[in-house]
Amino acid sequence: MKQGVLTPGRVRLLLHHGTPCFRGFGRRTGEERRKSVRGCIVNQDLSALNLIIVKKGENDLPGLTDTEKLRMRGPKRLQKSLLYNQVCKKASKAPKIQRLVTPLTLQRKRARIADKKKRVAKDAAEYQKLLASRLKEQRECRSESLAKKRTLKLPNGVRFQGSAIGFRLDDSDALSL
């Protein structure tokens, strides 16, 4: 929503770097672009509005200014958390702490590492199972192919078993050959 555009819908305006609703990064200096901008008239088609209370009136607004809600999460940086909690830090020669380490963050880290170890162990067991089944299939396939190579069938039903030394007749009908 752009201030000064008195329409409830969208309008295409010629904007340059520095004006609201237009980030002019990666543009030449002074370059203007035509951008689609929504007007500042509030209409019933809006589902939510982001507002800031500038001046507090005489009466409280129920559910908005009558109760004070705490922030869900505090700042992560130590300096900001000290400012947030209004604690003054005395000057020291110790190095500046960038992140505030609490027992809760350490617990979360331990839980994350434990989950990762469990997942890795489970995946490794699953892979070993798959590998064993594949090797078993490969052995069976190889033994079948070797058996086929060893046993040779002729059209009239006579079977020869081949080896490196020679051939041996299996059938009693082989004498007729």
**Nearest by Cα to 89 from 98, 99, 78, 100:** 78
Between 169 and 104, the higher pLDDT residue: 104
Q: Is residue 54 in some structural domain?
A: no
Q: Is residue 95 in some structural domain?
A: no
Q: Is residue 10 in some structural domain?
A: yes
pLDDT score recorded for residue 130: 97
Q: Is residue 126 in some structural domain?
A: yes
Res. 65 pLDDT band, cuts 50 70 90: confident
Between 75 and 109, the higher pLDDT residue: 109
- The total domain count for the chain is 2
- In this structure, how many other beta carbons lie within 10 angstroms of the beta carbon of residue 13? 17
pLDDT score recorded for residue 149: 80
- In this structure, how many other beta carbons lie within 10 angstroms of the beta carbon of residue 37? 19
pLDDT score recorded for residue 82: 75
Mean local confidence (pLDDT), 27-54:
86
Per-residue tokens: 105 = 């963050």
Gap between the Cα atoms of 72 and 74, Å rounded: 7
Between 28 and 8, the higher pLDDT residue: 8
Q: DSSP states of 33-53 as a string?
A: EEEEEE-S---TT--------
Gap between the Cα atoms of 159 and 142, Å rounded: 21
Q: Write phi, then psi, for 156 (nearest 5 degrees).
A: -90, 10
Q: Is residue 146 in some structural domain?
A: yes
* Full domain range(s) for residue 141: 101-150
Q: Is residue 107 in some structural domain?
A: yes
pLDDT exceeds cutoff 70 at 24: no
Mean local confidence (pLDDT), 85-93:
68
Q: Is residue 62 in some structural domain?
A: no
Mean residue pLDDT of the chain comes to 81
pLDDT score recorded for residue 126: 97
Q: Is residue 134 in some structural domain?
A: yes
- Which of 10, 29, 44 delimits the end of a domain? 44
